[in-house]
Amino acid sequence: MSINELPRWDLTHLFNGIEDPKLTTVVGNIVPSAKAFAERWRGRVAEIDAGGLLSMLSDYERSFAEPTAAYAFAHLGYAADSTDNSFVSLLSKIRELFNEAHRLTLFFTLELDSIDDERYAALSEDSTLKAYAHYLRQLRKQKDRRLTESEESILALKTLPGSTAFVQLYSRLTSSFRFPSPVDGEDDKYLTNAEILALLKHPDRETRRRAIENFSKVYEDQKLTISTIWNAIALDHRQNIGLRGYSSVIEPVNEGNELSDKAVSTVMEVTRQHYHLARRYYKWKAGALGVEKLWSSDLSAPLPGASDEKISYEKAREWVIDSFNDFHPRFGEIAKGFFDENRIDTPPVPGKSGGAFCMGAAPHLPPYVLINFTGKLRDATTLAHELGHGIHFTLAAKQPYLEYSPVLPLAETASVFGELLMTKKLLELEKEPEKRKHLIAERVEDIIATTFRQTMYTYFELEAHAKTAESTVEPEMFCDIWNSKLNNLYGETVETLDGSKWAWSAIPHFIHTRFYCYAYTFGELLVLALYRRYQEEGAAFAPKLISLLEAGGSLEPQALVANLDYDLEDSEFWRGGYRVLEELLEELGA
């Protein structure tokens, strides 16, 4: 199948095209239906009973669920072809209308906030409102952290020239960076961030080393600016912690992720205790690359003899469906539906958005997948990943709109699980030892990057925040903290190049969304731990995973896995995840 024959998606499940009169009607209704909702309910919420609250929430969902189809249509149309101006303008028009609709309906959460605790508790525990219990619970938690209306509005105002300005400064500064090319014969060429980082996979070792050096030098040159931003952002965060009564710098993030502090610290601690597995892998990798010791620029180096064998799209489709079917027929059937109903956009064509995603906008809408299939083996794994999301969205369609989307740490559960099923399938099919090694090594490197590495980031972040509370942290002090955390992770197995100590200044999460990184570890290790249970329990496990996915966002993660008799605060559960990694390392001979 050539690129031109690869299937495009069929958006007529949503609308019959940009000229569809139904689309025009739906878009035209966004604001009027929000207005109608406001007219029906404004001023009534404070006195509402359980039955009334149920009708109001369903009414709210109706007024947003229908236009969501238009939003999905515009978003997908734009992703498939960003050069088509009609989608660009439709998308921005819908965004504007949605903003207006949200503004018109803000009153109902404010009115719910005005209900006193006792009556609110009675309402949210009422069996009539069972489907929204989690939503109501979380809403009250947010309310408890809010200051008075006038305080909030002053804070919002002062955030613009405060933390928002610093975040903007960081983004604008770092996206203006250009790096001298480390490739031989490209002396005058300058590269973007993504281009130079891609060279860490270059087969030549010296090129990789120069890539790290050239990259770091540009960041080092801006050390005063970046460390000043870091200090200011940390101060802002600390002030918020104090104003809203949190007990630690990480607590607001845990609360947003609906996780207990204990569950998060358990994951981090268990991960730290398994750092030796990363060292074990990198020792093996040094051997495979034929060097005595890895440099910090070698961690993503390609293994020798990596094949560039192409696979067909038909093969990728067959593998995904088979591997999902082997797990549970429901998985296979949902995945097959995406192919049969043409809900996957496949070819890499000009104007199409890069990478891959799955969009599940609302429970009543069919989810769609976008990939850029080039015939690499990796593309088959990507397809499995995105269809894993597709399965999650399809199963969660049982939930109401407000309880549809899982919280961040659960968002990758089915996708990463799908990748593991695919790896398992590929290993079953592949008999050649060298190729098996490449498959396993790729998976192991993914696991290391999302578990150990992200946990190391979080330990760095915790210590850096603590230090900024004592005094201004100078650039070199950030480097010292970074190197000590890096050393905890890699020990003697990796030689840290001098430039690597500036890596902290290149991680945007620290600036944009503090303590975001542990969610990667949490998500990945949760899947590995669940996969371990699958290995242990066999076929009995599949219905459990299905019920977890069906819950969508309707339960806190802790309660969700408690339903399966697992416990997120129990380190044994998480250790099971690392046993999966250990087995991969054993098979590798590491």
Residues that bind Zn ion (CB under 5 A): 415
Residue of 276, 356, 357 lying closest to 581 (CA atoms): 276
What tokens appear for 98 in the block?
């949605």
In terms of CB distance, is 26 or 370 closer to Zn ion? Answer: 370
Minimum CB separation of residue 416 from Zn ion in Å reads 8
Query: Would you say 216 or 415 has its CB closer to Zn ion?
Result: 415
Query: Closer to Zn ion at the Cβ: 182 or 523?
Result: 523
Q: Which is nearer to Zn ion, 346 or 415 (CB)?
A: 415
- Distance of closest approach, residue 388 Cβ to Zn ion, in angstroms: 8
* Nearest residue (CB) to Zn ion, 254 versus 415: 415
Q: Which is nearer to Zn ion, 163 or 382 (CB)?
A: 382
CB of 348 vs Zn ion, minimal distance in Å = 19
Contacts 24+ apart (CB under 8 A), 492-496: 493/279, 493/282, 493/283, 493/286, 493/293, 493/294, 494/282, 494/293, 494/294, 494/295, 494/296, 494/298, 494/299, 495/293, 495/294, 495/295, 495/296, 496/296
Kindly list the strands in the beta sheet with 357-359, ordered across the sheet, starting from the edge strand earlier in the chain: 344-345, 368-370, 357-359
Q: How far apart are CA 411 and CA 423, in angstroms?
A: 20
Residue 472, CA distances (Å) to 221, 231, 233, 234, 235 in order: 19, 7, 12, 10, 10
Question: Whose Cβ is closer to Zn ion: residue 218's or residue 414's?
Answer: 414
To Zn ion, the closest distance from the beta carbon of 77 in angstroms equals 22
274: number of CA atoms within 13 Å, CB side? 28
CA atoms within 13 A on the CB side of 511: 25
Q: How far is the CB of 385 from Zn ion (least distance, A)?
A: 6
CA distances from 570 to 62, 263, 417, 454 (A): 40, 8, 21, 21
Neighbour tally for 96: CB within 10 Å:
12
Nearest CA to 277 among 464, 481, 525?
525
Q: Give the other-Cβ count within 10 Å of 267's Cβ.
A: 29
CB of 443 to Zn ion, least distance (A): 16
For residue 154, the SS3 value is helix
Give how far Cα 342 sits from Cα of 12, 48, 272, 398, Å.
Answer: 10, 45, 44, 22
Residue whose CB is less far from Zn ion, 355 or 543: 355
Please work out, in degrees rounded to the nearest 5, the angle formed at the alpha carbon of residue 30 by the alpha carbons of 27 and 32.
120
- Which two tokens mark 164? 């928002």
Determine the Cα–Cα distance for residues 380 and 322; give it in Å rounded to an integer.
12
Are the beta carbons of 3 and 348 closer than 8 angstroms?
yes
Q: Which is nearer to Zn ion, 63 or 415 (CB)?
A: 415
Shortest approach of Zn ion to residue 353 CB, angstroms?
15
Residue nearest to Zn ion (CB): 415
3-class secondary structure, 295? strand
Closer to Zn ion by Cβ: residue 222 or 415: 415
Q: How far is the CB of 412 from Zn ion (least distance, A)?
A: 5
Least distance (Å) from Zn ion to the CB of residue 411? 7
